[in-house]
Structure 1
């Protein structure tokens, strides 16, 4: 069939499950936005800037499986680059699309706006290409091939891809296949699959204390449900990295807790490091999730489940679709009658926190706050935590079953979570969304609250107001002015950004005020903006340890802390 290039691109995005494209209009992409507006089943959602759009597309992908970003050439692409890089670091599949100058102008090397004015139109594409797994400028002759290749690559590699669309080709027609985009994985090599299943079954039969260690790739590749079933069938206890929080059920008696090298609870560390069979999902250790690189996995016992291969005690089995492997293991492995589960020690909170009893006049503290907020989370919620106090405070708390936990534990770009909330709730509007964000992070991307309200979304936003960058204070400059920020009147912002909004603002400085606010929020279907006031120098126990460790790592023995 013949179809306009822009319509072909949009049809492929729809085949992959996209119903919203998030971005910012610009002269080189307006014609493509016109095609979006004219098409059923897909729409354009404009944000306040391109960085926020990239963060939102990341959040959308985490709830939908793929996100789409639309910017304009040069200034838009580079403004979004940090968000695209975050998706790459966090293994999030995203299609970044940029309207580009007309094809004739790029081929003739015109000096144009949004460029360096030197006729070079390769530098922007190559810049984005450094952090994407595919970056291409399409033409009428390569559009079908390159669009399909980019989408398949994003879905297979769980990374962002980038497509530049020259502004003068979107309405040109091309010959295109009538079949929808095939998003199915290729089947495994039969012999390699059978050999891997047989070998893993042998190891399970021999193992006395198997353990499963989960990181974020288990979520990105869609393995969570199968891994949960495998753990329950074989009664295999499991732990998680902090970057893999709540991928498997934290309420199960099989859940050991979070493995963090020397920073782990002793029982968790012992079980992970001394197991005779450790199933992993390609963990990536950075200083923050490894106890400052003190992790010691038993390499001779590791079976690593990648996305397209399996490594068994260092021997690679190539040509395997791991979901097929998990399905085969669920059929092959015999059920275990509870012996391993009885050996598992239920995970405990990181801090010794007493049962919650409200002290109405008591000032809010980090130690008391986070167990209470974990108790406010319901089964099936989407919980989004900003890097810093919110993630470090809520991370050790056990969350209800079925919770999706979103954070940026590896890239750690502050301000990510408010736009990510927008994207996630656009992708999964039926789920209750809770955002926990610090005041410093909020100020980086605050204007996207206006888009959330414009889209009539109703999240619960919990803003921790501790007058600045508490995580930085604990690294260096506890009382230095560079860690201070302006103290906004946060509760008025919903009305400022969207007059007449139904979102209700609350404020709490004491435990009694917090309880009153939570009760009102619980009994309302409207969005909520809850501002919590805490001491600037108060921090969760994990942050108090993280700060000095980071300072030692960053500045060394002659650094400013040791002057």
Structure 2
């Protein structure tokens, strides 16, 4: 005790640990904190308002993790607070998804006191074996840093290091926060200097060498193209990418996970490349290129339509957040941001051969107003409903695949979870994204947030509709009612009972979750004529709050890209060697 008093007396500006931690969250850009209360985090939560942070309060920890994911994708970083054991383990799936998709989330876990841990007490929420590190060990594999705040002399430095790692590596971190550390004192003078979040520079000589090699092949290429993927978004190089495109005029394509990374009204934009599921003109240009400059690639099965890329490493340059590959030579530790900036600055435009990008031809829309709404029609129609600046979220399944061929207006941000693919993710992510844009611009200027959600997926995380209503978020939610898990049906079991769901009265849900006519309005759409009428309705487009749409589609109808990818997945699942 005496030693602790001496340390406190030596502090210039003593502050409580909880105040320090939450002030740092505010300084790195977080304004709202997701999660649930539990007895091991309650006292810490009292400090949120003093730091300028809003407590969201979700319906369960899984949903909170999904919401923190969506928040981070819009705001740049997110945070979730859970309680030891029962709470944090409920969040693990959502945190794992953020790890796999490079999304920075600060996961703070209120845990038993250091005294209880040392004594090995038989406490609730534990495994009863005296091991208080079991859950931290579980989370270590889905976190880029783990901090256990056990010693006040080290806590401030631990927090600063962990938050910096979260942001720079764009992955979740885990902070174990014992109850007896919440009110301990640390040096508050550190808060006067914000955490340095600038990316460390590459070794100049190694970077220059990679830049020279890239320029050599770029200047020699006759049919170069650019392919932008998710990690270009997550690791914040879109500024460099757009500068590169503007200067070279090269045709640029995105992967499904990279959708909206490029302004889709730009004359150089060619569309979505996903191997065999690409539009013919896109497939021909990308696979016929003699140099593909790939930026931030995540070549997962769903992102490549079943690993159906037809690209040679001999004609590829792959730029990543922590290494670069030029043809068959790998350069570890050379980050793409510095390389891209120098390539833009040093390239010789006179030596660049740029083909025109494939022209986008909007499919003719001459609907039979009494016809059912099919996937192909819907996704070719919805682009005229979207507005500049919208946030568009698509659930794993028909929506995620269907939106590939929707041409976005300028400044649209698309969110998807193509890699991790946890159904139900999009409901929580939508809540988090809508709250993030509100935190950025305020309620009156927040961007419109639109969610396309499957009926099966909705049933996993439907409770977050109440959180949307509670926080007065402006969300348009289309529930695609097609009687179950369509993507699973196409992989296996088209008529199997395990792919069926109970049909809910979906449009009654906003009222069940506390919505009123003023805060949430429901609609049902079964024909193309009804869809056209709804999309043209001024009140539907302009009103605030939640707009909840039952959108009916045939049970066995699916986008062609989903069918192709599911078929490839089924073949892999059936392989025996």
Alpha-carbon separation, structure 2, partners of 1:102 and 1:339: 64
Distance in 2 of aligned mates of 1:532 and 1:557? 40
Distance 1:201 1:555, change over 3 A: closer
* Structure 2 CA distance for partners of 1:542 and 1:282, relative to 1, 3 Å: same
Match of 2:88 among 77, 99, 104: 77
Partner of 1:198: 212
**How far off its partner does 1:271 sit?**
3.1
Count of matched residue positions in the alignment of Structure 1 and Structure 2? 552
Q: Say whether the 8 Å CA contact 1:255–1:347 is kept in structure 2.
A: no
Q: Which residue of structure 1 lines up, in the alignment, with residue 547 of structure 2? A: 528
Query: What's 1:368 paired with?
Result: 377
Q: Identify the match of residue 186 of structure 2 among 174, 191, 198.
A: 174
TM-score with structure 2 setting the length: 0.91
Q: Which residue of 2 aligns with 1:263?
A: 277
Residue 573 of structure 2 is matched in structure 1 by: 554
Q: 1:58 aligns with which of 61, 69, 74?
A: 69
Query: What's the counterpart of residue 420 of structure 1?
Result: 429
**Which residue, 506, 510, 522 being the options, matches 1:490?**
506
- Indicate yes or no: 2:341 matched with 1:327: yes
Aligned equivalents of 2:209 and 2:496: distance in 1?
60
Corresponding residue for 1:513?
A: 530
Match of 1:183 in 2: 197
Q: CA deviation at 1:366?
A: 1.6
CA offset digits 1:70-114 (Å, max 9, x no partner)? 000000110000000000111101110000001100111111100
Q: Specify every segment of 5 or more residues in structure 2 that has no aligned partner in the other structure, as ranges.
A: 1-12, 439-445
Is the CA contact (8 Å cut-off) linking 1:56 and 1:421 kept in structure 2? yes
* Residue 141 (str. 1) matches residue 153 (str. 2): yes
C-alpha RMSD over aligned residues: 2.1
Q: Partners in 2 of 1:213 and 1:236 — Cα distance?
A: 10
- Aligned with 1:96: secondary structure? strand
Question: Are residues 1:453 and 2:464 paired?
Answer: no
Displacement of 1:318 in angstroms is 5.1
Moved more, 467-476 or 293-302: 293-302
- TM-score, reference length from structure 1: 0.93
Q: 1:195 to 1:339 in 2, by over 3 A?
A: closer
Task: List aligned pairs for 1:147-546, cutoff 5 A.
Answer: 147-176=159-188, 177=190, 178-317=192-331, 320-335=334-349, 340-342=354-356, 344-347=357-360, 354-429=363-438, 430-500=446-516, 501-520=518-537, 521-546=540-565
* Matched residue, 2:122: 111
- Per the alignment, do residues 119 and 348 of structure 1 end up closer, same or farther by CA in structure 2, a change over 3 Å counting? farther
The CA distance in 1 between the partners of 2:202 and 2:435, in whole Å, is 35
Residue 293 of structure 2 aligns to a residue whose secondary structure is strand
Q: Is the 8 A contact 1:69 1:97 kept in 2?
A: yes
SS of the equivalent of 1:95 reads strand
Does the Cα contact within 8 Å between 1:192 and 1:319 map onto a contact in 2?
no
When residues 336 and 488 of structure 1 are mapped into structure 2, their CA distance, relative to the original with a 3 A threshold, is farther
- C-alpha distance in 1 between matches for 2:85 and 2:243: 47
Counterpart-to-counterpart distance in 2, 1:228 and 1:460: 30
The structural deviation recorded for 1:42 is 1.2
- Unmatched runs of 5 consecutive residues or more in structure 1: 559-563
Compute the displacement of 1:183 (Å): 1.2
Residue 14 of structure 1 and its aligned partner are, at CA, apart by 1.2
In 1, Cα distance between equivalents of 2:263 and 2:339: 21
Going from structure 1 to structure 2, the CA distance change for 1:78 and 1:448 (only over 3 Å counts) comes to: same
Partner of 1:561: none
Q: Following the alignment from structure 1 to structure 2, what is the Cα–Cα distance between the partners of residues 229 and 507?
A: 44
The Cα offsets for residues 507-538 of structure 1, whole Å up to 9 and x where unpaired, read as 11011111121122224344311111122122
Distance 1:514 1:338 in 2: 46
What secondary structure, in the 3-state scheme, does the structure 2 residue paired with 1:141 have? helix
d(CA) in 2 for partners of 1:396, 1:205 = 32
1:67 and 2:78 matched: yes
2: CA distance between counterparts of 1:201 and 1:72?
51
Tell me the SS of whatever aligns to 2:417.
Answer: coil
Q: Bigger shift: 367-376 or 158-167?
A: 367-376
